[in-house]
Structure 1
């Protein structure tokens, strides 16, 4: 009789132990899924930009070199957490813009001293960007990922480390601020007299609008796109020319 009583007492205890283990496993699984769905934190990149890039987009590459460990730490974070289907469009865009810009800075630092990004052999085609065990080049990120997201303003956000490029924004792009940031860089670049000369009836604009004309014409013409951001209203039939591109380093 005592033997049966002991068994009856132990059974509920064993059962309860099993239930606790099941709950624990379920909880751990849920946390793991949440972690995988989190977007990348761009605070490290933001701090580096605030420290080493002026408001007018001039980059202090020598100072950036001193922050090499911090930059590598951010690049490692980008590699560890790439966009997935749970990410919003803005979070994904912000990730790839920041990735392009951060690895461009890394490319320049790894090849200093140079006077132009073109001093580097095949800078845009080189697959030196490691993200989640896959290698990318800058041109792959630009043409195969960013441009396919149908957002022409990315051309004012990604920076090719050159004088004629749109300025490198001295803050990181983020999911919550992306729309405002893209509008800011579009207006800033289009109205920058060193990059574009605009009058009502004659414009001499950046080669970017020639190279990627198709991206800007999807909702009309290049001029109609410019008029969304230009402080000067441009005649739809204005004479159009393109400026020579200055590939000097943006330092």
Structure 2
């Protein structure tokens, strides 16, 4: 019988996530020194790595698991290099952080890039882009609870609305343009199932004026921690 992981240890990690601001952007900030120093992140990672992937049956179980896995592995990547200015500093121009081993899942080393591009994106759920957090200021906010298969649709909708309601990084209306995050440019193709980026955004922001949408809000790669 399929069962979701016990995310209790990961929930303890997420208790060190609090609202704040950095570089003029409102976001959820992570206390990396705390989660590294108190052992909570290491415990949550060890449980993640030990989880038997064959226990995941439904699409929702897989989506929730791998979104949590991505976020936990991104936290681990930053914590392993803490203190750091940006998760990108764990990599280099010729060897980006996204292609470096971030940890193990199912007994196999994985990179953040593999989890995102080879596992999550092919599942055809564009809202993952508002749920996975690459430990940076302009990323969607890290949710203060694990994603769960039983509540996944509701959680993804909340993540999407929350991101689009954040004018510092999600969506802001200027005189003749609606400016949105570069995420909607980088992953434009993933939103085709919703009729494209404008239709997707208008589904969650129903009161938008009829203006051109440009995905060009500058992306701040500073670490989402203090």
* TM-score, with structure 1 as normaliser: 0.79
Cα shift at 1:250: 1.0
Q: Which runs of 5+ in 1 are unaligned?
A: 1-33
* Alignment of 1:59 onto 2:24: no
Work out which of the residue numbers 171, 179, 189 in structure 2 matches 1:214. Answer: 189
**For 2:149 and 2:187, how far apart are their aligned partners in 1?**
25
**For 1:129 and 1:146, how far apart are their aligned partners in 2?**
17
* Alignment of 1:194 onto 2:168: yes
Cα shift at 1:39: 2.6
In structure 2, relative to structure 1, the CA distance for the partners of 1:225 and 1:211 (3 Å cut) is same
Higher relative contact order (CA 8 A, sep 6+): 2
Q: Deviations over 1:146-170 (max 9, x none)?
A: 0011100000110011111111111
Work out which of the residue numbers 178, 187, 203 in structure 1 matches 2:152. Answer: 178
**Paired residues for 1:22-171 under 5 Å:** 34=1, 37-50=2-15, 52-55=16-19, 56-68=27-39, 70-84=40-54, 87-121=57-91, 122-171=96-145
**For 1:172 and 1:40, how far apart are their aligned partners in 2?**
10
* TM-score, with structure 2 as normaliser: 0.87
SS of 1:128's partner is strand
Whose strand fraction is larger, Structure 1's or Structure 2's?
A: 2
* Conserved? CA contact 1:162–1:249, under 8 Å: yes
Whose helix fraction is larger, Structure 1's or Structure 2's?
A: 1
Cα shift at 1:239: 4.8
In structure 2, relative to structure 1, the CA distance for the partners of 1:179 and 1:200 (3 Å cut) is farther
**For 1:123 and 1:57, how far apart are their aligned partners in 2?**
22
Work out which of the residue numbers 202, 208, 217 in structure 2 matches 1:233. Answer: 208
In structure 2, relative to structure 1, the CA distance for the partners of 1:111 and 1:97 (3 Å cut) is same
